[in-house]
Chains A and B, each alone.
Chain A
Amino acid sequence: MATEVLMPALSPTMEEGTLAKWLVKEGDTVSSGDILAEIETDKATMEFEAVDEGTVGKILVAEGTEAVKVNTPIAVLLEDGEDAASAEIDSSQSQQPVPVNKAQSSEDSPAAAIQHPVPAAIDAAPIEPDYPEGTELVQSTVREALRDAMAEEMRRDEAVFLMGEEVAEYQGAYKISQGLLEEFQARRVIDTPITEHGFAGIGVGAAFGGLRPIVEFMTFNFAMQAIDHIINSAAKTLYMSGGQMGCPIVFRGPNGAAARVGAQHSQDYAAWYSHVPGLKVVQPYSAADAKGLLKTAIRDPNPVIFLENEILYGRTFDVPKLDDYTVPFGKARIWREGSDVTIVSFGIGMTYALEAAEELEKEGISAEVIDLRTLRPMDTGAVIRSVMKTNRCVTVEEGFPVCSIGNHISAVLMQEAFDYLDAPVINCTGKDVPMPYAANLEKLALVTTAEVIEAVKAVTYR
């Protein structure tokens, strides 16, 4: 019985990839463990091994094919005695893709085909861009935008360097630092051992010593090991020294849920860091903001927590083609103007907010969507002004509900815009549970577009 070889998912968030190269040809005999092909994901090029033995009967997807969806049949494997023409394919026994990552990154765990519940990118552009009208726009992923921001700042200032796990030779666990080692050399792009507490402290010391470190955490989940240095050593020193000594440092990395990586790898720390005086906290949504805000973060003389999102890394947006594009901190961006309700979000929460707004429009509800972009300092003025117009507010974030960013916005609105509110503010958040692994439960644990729509209907009494 012939089996289909399917396009494997080679990372927790991979939905498609490029079949870069076949290492076998039709008629070849393969056995378990033989490398069949090289597959390029958005993060890396990986070797794909055979699980069963047999003869390569037919190659279904030619090498060089891009955007091959996960689980697409890419080849047919025949048992002894079968020939390609007569082979009967039993789809139920399709060879399950079991990738082997030679580099053994902790993040590149094998995963089955994943459909993350986050909605697809919405075709929307911000109402008030941070660049002059007529500026040429180029398409860029969030991943490329972050890399470009670091490269530009490293060219600009010799004191800027990048350190973290796998940032140099591996080119970044999520490929954010791709190419930086080649351009800036090992002195400025530094692989660390797996030792978050230690290298966060070394980064802080280097900042005290006159450098401008960018410390990459493979994910912010691991920064829990380093949080003492982030808060006690980085955030408080300027104050404790009476203004003598500050800590210009950027702590960056993916934050929040990726897909199917379980409770310890799926937490949103936006509210945690936003609590702390002395820190600035940024959580961009679009590629343009990722670039402009990261450049601002690197130049800022204070410790900046720069919260990225793995799901957004591969999303493409328009980025202004400017020599030096920066986005100021503390300035929210209105993505969509509306009159019936204000939806406030940030980071990946924006995908739910924008999708909900689009759906609501079809039902005649006009939603204004605000991307906070920086959480500390927070542009509460923009939210208040919008609510004075719409009189209703829904907040959207993936973090836990207790002491959330939404809770803070609700309090601010109650204190500053009480008379303008026609309904209680509703906070749409992740659920108050550790992230479950099971696909259906994970989907329930995250905030959903349907919940945002429901909340908007509740505050607009529809």
Chain B
Amino acid sequence: MKRFLAVSMVLLSTFSVVAVQAAETKVPVNLPELEEDKYQHQAPTMADLEADESIHSELKRVIRRGYDLFTNTQQLRGKNVFNDMNCSSCHMGEGRMPFSGPVWPAVTTLPDYRGKNNHVNNIEERISGCFSFSMNGMPPEYGSDDMVALVTYHQWLATGAKVYDTNIAGRGYGSVPKPAKAPSYERGEKLYAENCAICHGADGQGQKVDGKVQFPPLWGDNSFNWGAGLVRLNTAAGFIKHNMPLGQPGSLSDQEAWDLAQFMNSHERPQDPRFEKSAKHTREKYLNFHQHTMYGKEFKGKVLGEHNNTGEKPFLKPDVLRPRIFE
């Protein structure tokens, strides 16, 4: 009985939701409560930066540059970025907000071992991962001005945060319990038309205004490639549930979030830069990642990812994607 009570209390605290505003709002922010037993950190805002007289003016300038690159990564189009994405397309709320892929934990938890590439990564290599996969691109060089500016923005967001505490509240996008019914492309397709198409377009290709990306494409040549974290169905379900539609976090059910993830990630996108031989082979080789994706699986009579399309990017694999042996 005691055990039952304890379990219920844990469940209660996990599933109770926070209404950020007073109860009378018609569209509440329904996010999971930040767990008390996990580390919490309130990242500073750009207004805090301007108000902080203790920070050297030159450091402020570089943090602003990092923020500018983070929120308008398209300025690196054709050089480091070969699709329509910005860092802030997925790291909503300037990389500061819980359940929106906050980026400060990358600073406080790295260097650390990463399963994705099976070696110890520092913050620069972690950011390079985003460029290689999510931006379908060529990362800025280690130590370059752009890389240092991005790292500086990340590190400043972690101001005052505890180093090497990996038990962090609101990290990533938060997990969404597997729903009762197996995720369905067909249900996702219908939900997409009702909830997402208004911004991302009926064809999922996003929208541009005067040639500038307004709403990012969710699949196809100008979206993230098959190696990006958001290709994982569980990660996508978390992102969708806790961030979409814009301004309405938590408005979709767990089932709806998974159905939408299934629909979005059953479409083609640029090749995984780690591709070798075939999609099925690559899936097997990186199964710790691809066990959560549709890559290399058959869908509508075709094997997803079985192609040599790298989108706008004129190469497959950036050189920085390489093993490290530390010898």
A pairs with B:
no
Question: Which residues does A use to contact B, with CB under 8 Å?
Answer: none
